[in-house]
C-alpha cells in the first residue's frame, strides 16, 4: 500500500491527535496569568489559516480585555441563563443551576470571533447553493484556534448562552457582521480528564459505531 511522503512523523501525529482528544471547554480552571502577545498572535494566526469556502475568510477577531465590557457581557449571560434554567424542572434544573457555564471575568482575555456576511462580495465561489457556508467557515476558525490553544496550554471556553442581538449591540457590530463565538481564554490549573458536562452527569459521549452509516442513511457501514 502506497501512502506517499506527505504524512507527519509519528511524534507529530500524536501531538495532533492529543490536541483533539484533550481539548476541553474550560469554565472553572482559569488562572489570572496574562497570555503573552506572541502566544496570542500564534493562536490568531492558526484561526486565520482555517479553510473557508471560496477563500472568503469571513472572520474578524475582537480581543476583549476591558473589565467594563466583559461585565456587560456577563450581565447578558446571566439574563439568558436565567431563561434557560426555566426550561428544566426537578433534579435536572438543580443540576443545571449547579453548572458553571462561563468564565467571562475569571479568564484574563475574552475573544469574539465574528462572521462578515458580505465578505467576498455577492457571488462567492462555492456559496451559490448554501449561503450559510460563511458561518460554517467561521466555525472552522474557532476550532483551529481551540486546538492551537490546547497545544499552547491555553484553555478556551465558548459562552453560547447569549442573545446574539444584544451581544452585537454591546460590541458595536455592524448589521452585516454576526457574532459566531464568544470565547474565554487563559492558562488553566488543569485540563479535565473528560468534558465537564460528561463528568457532571449531564450527557455522555455517544458511541461512534451508533453514528456510522454506509452510502445512505440507516444502512450499515461495512468497511472492506
Mean pLDDT of successive 10-residue stretches along the chain, which has 224 residues: 83 98 95 97 98 98 98 98 96 94 97 97 94 98 98 98 98 98 97 94 95 94 76
Structure confidence at residue 121 (pLDDT): 94
Q: What is the H or E stretch that residue 16 is in?
A: helix 10-22
Is 220 part of any domain? no
Is 16 part of any domain? no
Q: What is the pTM of this model?
A: 0.95
Structure confidence at residue 5 (pLDDT): 87
Structure confidence at residue 4 (pLDDT): 76
Q: What is the CATH number of the domain that holds 65?
A: 3.40.109.10
Q: How many residues does the chain have?
A: 224
Structure confidence at residue 224 (pLDDT): 62
Is 85 part of any domain? yes
Is 206 part of any domain? no
Helices (H), 61-104: 67-85, 90-98
Structure confidence at residue 76 (pLDDT): 98
Domain, as residue range, for 173: 24-190
Beta strands in 52-200 (DSSP E): 59-64, 109-116, 154-158, 177-187
Amino acid at each position: 500500500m502506497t501512502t506517499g511522503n506527505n504524512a507527519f512523523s509519528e511524534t507529530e501525529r500524536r501531538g495532533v491527535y492529543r490536541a483533539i482528544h484533550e481539548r476541553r471547554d474550560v469554565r472553572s480552571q482559569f488562572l489570572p496569568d496574562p497570555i503573552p502577545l506572541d502566544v496570542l498572535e500564534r493562536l490568531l494566526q492558526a484561526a486565520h489559516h482555517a479553510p473557508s469556502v471560496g477563500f472568503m475568510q469571513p472572520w474578524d477577531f475582537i480581543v476583549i480585555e476591558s473589565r467594563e465590557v466583559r461585565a456587560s457581557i456577563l450581565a447578558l449571560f446571566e439574563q439568558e441563563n436565567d431563561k434557560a434554567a426555566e426550561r428544566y424542572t426537578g433534579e435536572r434544573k438543580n443540576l443545571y443551576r449547579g453548572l458553571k457555564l462561563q468564565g467571562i471575568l475569571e479568564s484574563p482575555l475574552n475573544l469574539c470571533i465574528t462572521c462578515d456576511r458580505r465578505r467576498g462580495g455577492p457571488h462567492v465561489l462555492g456559496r451559490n447553493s448554501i449561503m450559510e457556508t460563511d458561518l460554517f467557515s467561521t466555525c472552522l476558525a474557532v476550532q483551529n484556534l481551540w486546538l492551537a490553544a490546547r497545544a499552547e496550554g491555553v484553555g478556551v471556553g465558548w459562552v453560547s448562552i447569549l442573545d446574539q442581538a444584544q451581544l452585537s449591540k454591546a460590541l458595536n457590530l455592524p448589521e452585516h457582521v454576526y457574532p459566531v463565538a464568544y470565547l474565554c481564554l487563559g492558562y488553566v490549573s488543569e485540563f479535565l480528564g473528560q468534558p465537564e458536562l460528561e463528568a457532571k452527569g449531564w450527557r455522555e459521549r455517544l458511541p461512534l459505531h451508533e453514528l456510522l452509516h454506509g452510502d445512505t442513511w440507516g444502512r450499515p457501514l461495512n468497511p472492506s
